[in-house]
Structure 1
């Protein structure tokens, strides 16, 4: 679909898109995946989209379909001249030295992409407990993509470790009444406690919950200080239905107050992901 940057509202300087993917379709795909790429999406494509829409920075999130192979992510970060950060998928046995090397190459977090799984990894296992400890030591956040009904024990373990938690796509609450679900209330409590952030992103992945209502609750819980905005470009599984400017329009609908919106677009993202700094 055609982009329409001429219609987008003014974006503050330093704004960040905090969830996107760079994709090479011909890369080996993991058996343990819930989606697969329809076409390539290069780092040059993404940077051009950011430039077209007045967005300065971006966070590249490792997709499920490469497993713990972060080659595409790391290549993209190396090509971006400091404009992009990344979250990587790793095996729990990875060493702290290896994590530090990822960090030196622009990775600022680790992703637990555990959605649509018959059995979840054991967050209380020795391997994952050690991984959380390593992440805390290095200042790497833990990004969680998981159905809201399964979120509470995982979020509790991350919070207990002291690592920062970043929850994808509004916390993916269950059903059209997800705003009243236990998982969403646990998420709100974690936001209030101060070490959990939420991405206002991908309403098309919600299970009928109202994104505007979810956003209001999330913003109210922390005076808007624990929310960031994202597009989920290039919208895997929805590639032909989306345009980037729509994602910007949604944010202006969800967060009509300019002060709060600029906090979401700039201040929160910079503080959480290290945009504009020389080191994450």
Structure 2
């Protein structure tokens, strides 16, 4: 499918995945590809719902192999950006080379791990600094109660931070989760953004309550919307239209929704 014009289309889906079966998978994976998902399918979905752009997030099951992601970005360079999984030790030059291929951030997918790296170690402090120097943000997917062990190190490095899936607060505590309180404080710094996405990963919490708390702390300019398509391990009963409708429930104000869906992500991810 050739790249098509996006005239009149501005919205951005900031978290989706492409994948291909038959590739080597990480031993630590907590999911795996159920089918092949090519970028042409995602572009068709964006077109069908009047959206102009998408951000492809590297799934954890490929480890540090970003080849499927980079291939997709090369096919649709004006409509797609990506976040890549990179190993500690990546240099500023290596990260800048990824940025030149459409990568906007590096991802730490540390959820559901038996053991996690030390974010304050010299190798991770160096990685965060290299990302900052290369003009990339740090995308974090981690259980909310554990964010206070990571956020201070990321903030101290000066790198911009994007948190996945409502920042995943403890379902039993919701807005009172200490990790979520740390996220609200991070939003107030102006260097942190949170994706309103994947409400089915919240353990029954009311996503509208979380969204309104974050709007109060950081404003619409620090929130993003995402579909989490194709809903890995949560495919049953999902629809893309339903994901878009969710945003209207969480954020009733149309001006705020436009900021979240269009203005903020276009600037953050470098879409023109």
> Is this a same-fold pair by TM over 0.5?
yes
Instruction: State the shift of 1:156 in Å.
Output: 1.1
CA-to-aligned-CA distance 1:39-98 (integer Å, 9 cap, x gap): 111100000000000010000000000000000000000011310000000100122221
Q: How far apart, CA to CA, are the structure 2 residues paired with 1:223 and 1:116?
A: 30
* Over 4 Å off, 4+ runs: none
Give the number of aligned pairs. 265
Secondary structure of the residue that 1:231 maps to in structure 2? coil
1:78 aligns with 74
Q: Which residue of 2 aligns with 1:220?
A: 216
**Matches of 2:97 and 2:23 in 1, distance apart?**
22
Asked if the contact 1:191–1:222 (Cα under 8 Å) also holds between the matched residues in 2, the reply is yes
Q: How far apart, CA to CA, are the structure 2 residues paired with 1:57 and 1:222?
A: 24
Quote the residue 2:149 is aligned against.
Answer: 153
Match of 2:175? 179
| Partner residue, 1:204 | 200
**2:10 corresponds to:** 14
Structure 1 residue 199 displacement after superposition: 0.1
Residues 254-280 of structure 1: CA deviation (Å, up to 9, x unaligned): 11101000000111101211112xxxx
Assess if the C-alpha contact under 8 Å between 2:93 and 2:134 holds in 1.
no
Q: Deviation of residue 241 (structure 1)? A: 2.3
Alpha-carbon distance in 2 for matches of 1:242, 1:275: 27
8 A Cα contact 1:21 1:62, kept in partner: yes
**TM-fit CA distance, 1:221:** 1.1
What SS is found at the alignment partner of 1:204? helix
User: How far did residue 240 of structure 1 move?
Assistant: 3.0
**Aligned partners of 2:109, 2:30: CA distance in 1, in Å?**
9
Q: Which structure is higher in RCO with an 8 Å CA cutoff and minimum separation 6?
A: 1
SS at match of 1:197: strand
* Correspondence 1:270 to 2:266: yes
* Displacement after TM superposition at 1:32 (Å): 1.8
Are 1:123 and 2:119 matched, yes or no?
yes
1:240 and 1:158 map into 2 onto residues whose CA distance is 35
Query: What SS does the corresponding residue of 1:27 show, helix, strand or coil?
Result: coil
In the alignment, structure 2 segments of 5+ residues that lack a partner are 1-7
* Pairing 1:253–2:249 present: yes
Structure 1: segments with no counterpart, 5+ residues: 1-11
CA distance in 2, matches of 1:240, 1:78: 31
Question: 1:97 — aligned with what?
Answer: 93
Give the superposed CA RMSD.
1.1
- Among 126, 129, 133, the residue aligned to 2:129: 133
CA contact (8 A) 1:176 1:208 kept: no
Measured against aligned partners, the alpha-carbon deviations of 1:122-163 in whole angstroms (never above 9, x if no partner) come to 111111111111011111000000000001121111111000
Deviations 1:79-122 (CA, angstroms, capped at 9, x unpaired): 11310000000100122221111111000100000000111111
Output the CA distance in 2 between the equivalents of 1:161 and 1:115. 22
TM-score, scaled to structure 2? 0.95
Q: Distance in 1 between matches of 2:28 and 2:91?
A: 22
Structure-2 separation of matches of 1:102 and 1:203: 30
Mapped partners of 2:84, 2:248: distance in 1: 29
C-alpha contact (below 8 Å) 2:90/2:130 kept by paired residues: no
Structure 1 CA distance for aligned equivalents of residues 83 and 269 of structure 2: 10
